[in-house]
Amino acid sequence: MTKSDNIIEANAVTFTERGFDFANVLHSTKYSIDPTKLKSDELIVKALTTSINPSDLGIIGAAYGAPPKLFHDLQTSEPVHIPGNETLLRVEYVGSDIKDYKVGDWVIPKNVGFGSWRSHAVVSTAEDKTPLIVLSNDEDDSFTLEQGATIMINPCTAYQILGQFIHDWKDDGNDWVIQNAGNSQVAKYLTQFTTLKNIKSISVIRDGKSDEEIKELYDLGATKVITESEFLKPEFIKETLPSWIGSKGNVRLAINSVGGPTTAQLVSSLSQDGYFVTFGMIGGQPISYNGGEQLQKNITTKAYWLTANTKRDPESKVKTVVDLLKLYKDGKLKDVPFEKNIVKVGVDDIKSVFLQGIVKSKTNGKQIIVYE
Amino acid sequence: MLTSQIVVYSQHGEPADVLSTHSYEIDDSHIGDNEIIVKTLAAPVNPSDINQIQGVYPSKPEKTTNFGTVEASAPCGNEGLFEIIKVGSKVTDFSIGDWAIPAQVNFGTWRTHALANDSEFLKIPNPSQSKANGKSTGLTINQGATISVNPPTALLMLTHYVKLIPGKDWFIQNGGNSAVGKYAIQISKLLGFNSLSVIRDRPNLQELKDELTSLGATKVITEEENGSKEFGPTIKGWTKETGGEIKLALNCVGGKNSTGVARKLANNGLMLTYGGMSFQPVILPTSLHIFKNITSAGFWVTQLLKQNPELKVETLNQIVEWYEDEKLIDAPSLQTKFDPNGDKPLHELYQEAVINSKQGKQLITF
């Protein structure tokens, strides 16, 4: 043991029944962890931050098919589910056989379904020797808490979407990406990655966004920003787009996370052999486009899902995070702003803080819980 | 000198308005070493031929004055069966009397004769060659004249992208009663795949189901059943029985129908959209697309085979073999014979055929 062996009083948000009535479905659960009973192949981590992501809510509400795993170690009468995936953790204790981690490491879970809405966890290395990815440590000040808090999902999603379908991006300034939901968190990261690779980008945004919000996208490197109503006009395909991309322009990737009328126009925007990729939608409006255009231009329609990629190949996640870390540490990638919600462990009711975060996430963008 | 007649257009528009017949001379006593002269046995009307004339098809023949027209004109027709009537001194792939089909689209098949380079044609066996090869039968004129588009479309969609496990796996298709749909049913049977074909409800439903079943269809369902949630378990029961999955969907209809067939796909399934350039939009439910990792792609036989000539030869050889072995039944055509000495010029015959296309595939024989 490397620290005074006090019993840890921990808190978690839990549920046993699934549903979208979060106030009733979710519970606060208190449990304790005794570091003196830590097995040699286990470690104890403390949460520094936890995110509330739309996919977490989908899992609680059973909009996703697979039920999340059950936790038996929370001293509850029945095993419980813990929501959440994205979290930044600090290693507090390591068992005697642990070689890959040390106290003070900042880590994130490698796999999906960690159950991140909790203040502390005991992590076993019995099945997977490296269940956590090390990002940083207490001494390393080249990497911030804010970057660590949000690295797991949105930047990974944007990074992988850009790399998974097209492997031969050209950096001559003629390759283009077009995306709807152009001011979403993922889109903001994607815009930065395209800029780094000298790929041009078009971000379609909802009407009525402020000049500030539009300026933010240009500051991140967006080549063009266009409102949905301008984008949906026939002139966009006939005149605007050709004038933007020029005769050598090649619109290779269209990214959809909205559905509905913009999907057909995204397909129309693509050049020969382009990819139309959808991600991040639960329900919503279907994808609909002209099949003749698909034949003619040999367009392939694909889905992207980070969770599925990570389940199929956990190392792909590790590789992505390593690449992202380098970009962050080289100062090439800006984290996208989010709102913090403080929970004082042992003082505040953890469920109330998360419920407030859920409500605010509908209007104020991404919500992060910070543990104190 | 040999006089050839060819159907051409100089302006895009409706075939009724813009087609004309042009006659030109072919000097058959002085042909190049690698040239051949062919006479047309039959050439059908395909939807893409009409779309080319209308100017709405992405691939079309160049306009040229090579036929001796005053205005630059483009020839019509993409599919056809030809007989070799003369060969140049260095031609080794063809002999007089051989049957041949154009190697590429846009050749212009609505004509009586053509002078061409030998590389512009692919040989297929004529009936006497098939018999000499020990086959019980040779190709019919209809089989030869309609071999280039629909049968390869069906065969390649079933084999080129997804590996279906014979005896176990399934494909689903809408437009089960279309020409390609019927080839797909037969070919899947020949390859051991299970087929699930969706057809429109109609008064003589059972009759059509019986017809498709006799062609080798595993299961035939209506559009209503395709769109019904309640019917889902029945289909799951069928696939469970064979121990396979529905890995491939063929869509030539679009709209709700495309959603219905996409919904039947197993995880990582592929939907191929093919056929006309104008149909209802493809509609994919998003959550299904994401959670089942379904891919939707276009299939355009012309484009695929242009990039891959060897695949074309391989595919055609397989179709020819099935025809010779009487394992594959061709989609029938309504045939009209062209009389070169008659009153009706060739383009009028094709204009009528275009109008009659709604009643079934039209074939002009020569």
Contact residues on chain B for A281, CB-CB shorter than 8 A: 286-287, 290
Q: How far apart, in whole angstroms, are the C-alpha atoms of residue B7 and residue B112?
A: 9
Task: Tell me what percent of the residues of chain B surpass a pLDDT of 70.
Answer: 99
Query: Nearest C-alpha of chain A: how many angstroms from B255?
Result: 8
Quote the tokens at residue B328.
């594959």
What is the rounded average pLDDT for all residues in chain B? 94
Residue B81 pLDDT class (50, 70, 90 cuts): very high
Q: Is the pLDDT of residue A20 over 70?
A: yes
Q: How far apart, in whole angstroms, are the C-alpha atoms of residue A269 and residue A251?
A: 7
Pairing of strands B35-45, B113-117: antiparallel
Q: What is the pTM of this model?
A: 0.90
Contact check, Cβ <8 Å, B290/A305: yes
The DSSP secondary structure of A307-336, one letter per residue, reads HHHHHH-HHHHHHHHHHHHHHHHTT--PPP
Q: Is the pLDDT of residue A63 over 80?
A: no
Residue in B212, B182, B224, B226 with CA at minimum distance from that of residue B330? B182
Told to judge if A101 belongs to the known catalytic residues of this protein, a careful annotator would answer no
When pLDDT is averaged across residues A181-197 and rounded to a whole number, the result is: 96
Q: Is the pLDDT of residue B275 over 90?
A: no
The DSSP secondary structure of A276-304, one letter per residue, reads EEEES-SSSSPEEE-HHHHHHHT-EEEEE
pLDDT digits (tens, 9 = 90+) for A137-178: 999 988 999 999 999 999 999 999 999 999 999 999 999 999
Task: Tell me what percent of the residues of chain B surpass a pLDDT of 90.
Answer: 88
Question: What's the sign of the alpha-carbon dihedral A160, A161, A166, A169?
Answer: negative
pLDDT digits (tens, 9 = 90+) for A333-372: 998 888 999 999 888 999 999 999 999 998 888 899 999 8
Contact check, Cβ <8 Å, A278/B290: yes
Query: Nearest C-alpha of chain A: how many angstroms from B179?
Result: 19
Instruction: Say if the ipTM goes beyond 0.90.
Output: no
Contact check, Cβ <8 Å, B303/A298: yes
Distances, alpha carbon A207 to alpha carbons A211, A213, A228, B144, B316, in Å: 11, 12, 6, 57, 53
pLDDT digits (tens, 9 = 90+) for B283-309: 998 888 998 999 999 999 988 998 899
Quote the tokens at residue B128.
């006497």
Annotation: CATH topology of B2-146+330-365: Quinone Oxidoreductase; Chain A, domain 1 (3.90.180)
Q: Is the pLDDT of residue A64 over 80?
A: no
pLDDT digits (tens, 9 = 90+) for B124-173: 999 999 999 999 899 999 999 999 999 999 999 999 999 999 999 999 99
pLDDT digits (tens, 9 = 90+) for B5-39: 999 999 999 999 999 999 999 999 999 999 999 99
Burial of A304 (0-12, 13-18, 19+ CB in 10 A): buried
Residue A12 pLDDT class (50, 70, 90 cuts): very high
> Which of A84-97 are b and which e, b meaning 16 or more Cβ less than 10 Å from the residue's Cβ?
bbbbbbbbbbbbee
Q: How far apart, in whole angstroms, are the C-alpha atoms of residue A258 and residue A334?
A: 24
Q: Is the pLDDT of residue A4 over 60?
A: no
Return the pLDDT at A2. Answer: 47
Q: How far apart, in whole angstroms, are the C-alpha atoms of residue A308 and residue A296?
A: 30
Domain ranges of chain B: 2-146+330-365, 150-302
Domains of chain A (ranges, CATH numbers): 8-144+335-371 (3.90.180.10), 165-307 (3.40.50.720)
Query: Nearest C-alpha of chain A: how many angstroms from B352?
Result: 26
Backbone angles phi, psi at B152, to 5 degrees: -65, -35
Quote the tokens at residue A81.
């589910």
When pLDDT is averaged across residues A264-285 and rounded to a whole number, the result is: 91
Q: How far apart, in whole angstroms, are the C-alpha atoms of residue B301 and residue B272?
A: 12
Q: Going by CATH, does the domain composed of B150-302 fall within 3.40.50.720?
A: yes
Contact residues on chain B for A259, CB-CB shorter than 8 A: 286
Return the pLDDT at A336. Answer: 84
pLDDT digits (tens, 9 = 90+) for B104-114: 999 999 999 99
Contact status, residue A83 vs residue A60, Cβ threshold 8 Å: yes
Q: How far apart, in whole angstroms, are the C-alpha atoms of residue B131 and residue B129?
A: 5
Sheet of B74-75, strands arranged across: B20-26, B2-9, B74-75
What is the rounded average pLDDT for all residues in chain A? 93
Quote the tokens at residue A289.
């486009």
Q: Is the pLDDT of residue A1 over 60?
A: no
Contact check, Cβ <8 Å, B251/A303: no
Q: Which of A282, A288, A305 sits opposite B281 (nearest CB)?
A: A288
Return the pLDDT at A55. Answer: 85
Contact check, Cβ <8 Å, A302/B300: no
What is the identity of the amino acid at A261? P
Q: Which of A301, A305, A309 to mutate to test the interface with B (most CBs of B within 10 A)?
A: A301
Structural element, H or E, at residue A60:
helix A54-60
Question: What's the sign of the alpha-carbon dihedral A264, A270, A275, A277?
Answer: negative
Q: Is the pLDDT of residue B260 over 90?
A: yes
B278 in reach of chain A (CB within 8 A):
yes
Contact status, residue A300 vs residue B270, Cβ threshold 8 Å: no
Burial of A212 (0-12, 13-18, 19+ CB in 10 A): exposed
Give residue for tokens 């068992």: A95
Interface of A with B in 274-293 (CB under 8 A): 278-292
What is the identity of the amino acid at A255? I
